[in-house]
Amino acid sequence: MINIIPAIDIIDGKCVRLTKGDYNQKKEYSASPLDMALRYQDIGIRRLHLVDLDGAKSSSPKNLRVLEEIATRTSLDIEWGGGIKSDEALRDAFNAGANHLIVGSVAVANSDLFARWLDNFGGDHLILGADVADGRVAINGWLEQSELTIEALIDRFRPHGLREVICTDIAKDGMLQGPTFELYSQLQNAYPAQDIIVSGGISCMDDIYRLDEMQLRHVIVGKAIYEGRIALEDIAAVYK
């Protein structure tokens, strides 16, 4: 069965969700990031997707206290993204308890640096984050669009041991209308040695089952859980 990775997006230490990556379309939820992480752990989730949205807009992580708290209080395998743009930010996030770091903007703007990080830390610990809009990769919290395609970005880092790619279709993110199935299927077929992690648009368990049938390996789920479209009991049933 496809691995379900719940997402927790953080602004000012709180759980939020954006629509199409728009910071002006923010919805805040009452549960704390730690409370949600503990709930996920209790139902059998093994891996957690944490995004520091404050860090994504700036040059460094801004919510490392949340990361440290979750890493200390749970045994979850944590992937962390947002503001990983320097050696110092990389060290700080690892020291705070991240098992994997998601790098997006740097991979586009300073590909040599990300290649060096991959060489030094390996593909088990670094994940390429590729946020796609209109066929091109967006950076800096989705506020800027590059000229690179996701295929060109993956090809750049394959020789350096790239193993995992989180691909987010910005047009689908937070819309609860289903993911772009064809995009993910094509990417996974084109890059069988890499795990293409689906992100954006998951609306129900049927979306997840369909991705599983298409032999996708990992899927990130966020807003559908917070909005009650997917119950924790549904996810728990997958892990029984």
Residues designated as active site: 9, 131
C-alpha dihedral over 232, 234, 238, 240, to 10 degrees?
A: 80
Other beta carbons within 10 Å of 5:
22
Q: Which helix (H) or strand (E) holds 6?
A: strand 3-11
Nearest to 93, CA basis, from 4, 10, 195, 5: 10
State the distance between the two ends of the chain, measured CA to CA, in whole angstroms: 11
Q: How many whole angstroms separate alpha carbon 34 and alpha carbon 220?
A: 18
Residue 18 near residue 53, CB atoms below 8 Å: yes
Q: How many whole angstroms separate alpha carbon 184 and alpha carbon 14?
A: 30
* Radius of gyration (C-alpha) of the chain in whole angstroms: 16
